[in-house]
């Protein structure tokens, strides 16, 4: 059967797309200077941090179902596990950027993924408009880092690159301070540290564990105490925070019509199709099949008949 030309390319890793024809690439760092490989039909997700500065032209995309536009001197920051789609850039679009693996970010403390304030900032405001001085600083770091990465290997190369990235992270936090007030890291109380550890655990496990006791045991505390900490630090119960991550996973899976409901249930570790159906109805107000149709904007005839098993 001939493939529909309008079919979305499913489960595409953003890092793999941006790595094609990039300025530099290894397991930890990718340096990009163009986004022309991105296609509007791609449904993209990545487990890395993506930082892109627009130098010319403009682009548009949807991140977690919210539309955004990036213009000259705008800095786009995507944290791990966001869903990107409907991405397009103008013919004259020029950019520079980095992709850092999550593991490398944790090792180098480039962008602390344990910082709840920073995570909330990036989720609400993934695009930051830079002033000329900040654009110039970004370009200096980009050029310096690239020159050191492509140098012939030497004894101090790893330490040198780490030092450059640490300097870059401090300048990034200066930019961040223009957009939000952040609690100094050395003033964190024990509850804040515990909460950040919980968020880090929640971000790490795949498939996502849904039981509060699982995370409480990992942190060596009671479920009741973990719930009180989460409520105090974020305003949300621990169950709500867990569900925020789980529903995002479900939505990403349902946007892939080649996956049956049964496949999705197995991949995200639900006990059975019936339980999964009730969970989706609770959080989306409709069955998995109905919500998938809504997400894809398709008629029932275009969805696999294997989904009838959800009922």
50: burial class by Cβ within 10 Å (0-12, 13-18, 19+)? buried
Nearest to 111 by CA among 74, 163, 64, 165: 165
- Quick check: 84 pLDDT over 90? no
Q: What is the pLDDT of residues 20-57, one digit of tens each?
A: 668 888 889 999 988 767 766 678 877 788 899 999 99
Query: Rounded mean pLDDT of 59-88?
Result: 89
Q: What is the pLDDT at residue 10?
A: 46
Q: Are 59 and 32 in contact (CB under 8 A)?
A: no
Is the pLDDT score of 189 beyond 90?
Answer: no
- Identify the pLDDT of residue 244: 86
Task: State the Cα–Cα distance between residues 169 and 147, nearest whole angstrom.
Answer: 18
pLDDT at 274 over 80: yes
Please tell me which residue, 81 or 132, carries the higher pLDDT value.
132
Average pLDDT value for the chain? 81
Q: Give yes or no for a contact between 100 and 28, defined as CB atoms under 8 angstroms apart.
A: yes
What mean pLDDT is predicted for residues 177-197?
Answer: 65
CB neighbours of 263 closer than 8 A, spacing ≥ 6?
none
Q: pLDDT tens digit string along 243-259?
A: 988 988 898 899 888 88
> Order of strands across the sheet with 66-70?
9-13, 42-45, 83-89, 59-63, 66-70
- Residue 161 has a pLDDT of 93
Secondary element (H or E) of residue 74: strand 74-78
Provide the pLDDT for residue 69: 95
DSSP characters over 210-266: --HHHHHHHTTS-HHHHHHHHHHHHSS-HHHHHHHHHHHHHHHHHT-TTS-HHHHHH
Q: Which pLDDT band, with edges at 50, 70 and 90, does 308 fall under?
A: very low
pLDDT confidence of residue 6: 41
Tell me which residue of 171, 76, 170 sits closest to 128, measured CA to CA: 76
Is the pLDDT reported for residue 301 higher than 50?
no
């Amino acid at each position: 059967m001939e493939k529909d030309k309008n079919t979305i390319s499913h489960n595409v890793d953003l890092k793999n797309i941006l790595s094609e024809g990039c300025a530099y690439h290894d397991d930890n760092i990718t340096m990009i200077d163009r986004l022309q490989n991105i296609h509007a039909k791609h449904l993209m997700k990545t487990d890395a941090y993506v930082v892109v500065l627009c130098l010319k032209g403009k682009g548009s995309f949807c991140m977690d179902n919210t539309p955004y536009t990036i213009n000259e001197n705008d800095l786009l920051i995507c944290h791990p596990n966001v869903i990107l789609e409907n991405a397009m850039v103008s013919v004259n679009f020029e950019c520079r950027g980095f992709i850092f693996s999550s593991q490398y970010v944790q090792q180098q403390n480039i962008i602390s993924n344990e910082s709840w304030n920073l995570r909330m900032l990036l989720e609400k405001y993934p695009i930051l408009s830079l002033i000329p001085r900040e654009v110039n600083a970004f370009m200096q770091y980009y050029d310096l880092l690239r020159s050191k990465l492509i140098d012939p290997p030497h004894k101090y190369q790893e330490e040198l690159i780490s030092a450059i990235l640490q300097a870059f992270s401090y300048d990034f936090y200066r930019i961040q301070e223009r957009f939000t007030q952040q609690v100094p890291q050395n003033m964190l109380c024990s509850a804040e540290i515990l909460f950040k550890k919980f968020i880090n655990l929640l971000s790490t496990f795949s498939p996502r564990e849904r039981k509060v006791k699982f995370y409480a045991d990992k942190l060596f505390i009671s479920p009741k105490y973990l719930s009180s900490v989460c409520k105090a630090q974020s305003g949300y119960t621990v169950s709500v925070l867990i569900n925020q991550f789980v529903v995002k996973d479900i939505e990403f899976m349902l946007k892939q019509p080649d996956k049956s409901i049964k496949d999705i249930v197995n991949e995200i570790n639900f006990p059975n199709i019936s339980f999964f159906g009730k969970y989706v109805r609770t959080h989306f107000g409709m069955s998995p099949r109905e919500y998938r149709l809504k997400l894809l904007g398709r008629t029932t005839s275009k969805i696999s008949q294997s989904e009838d098993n959800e009922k």
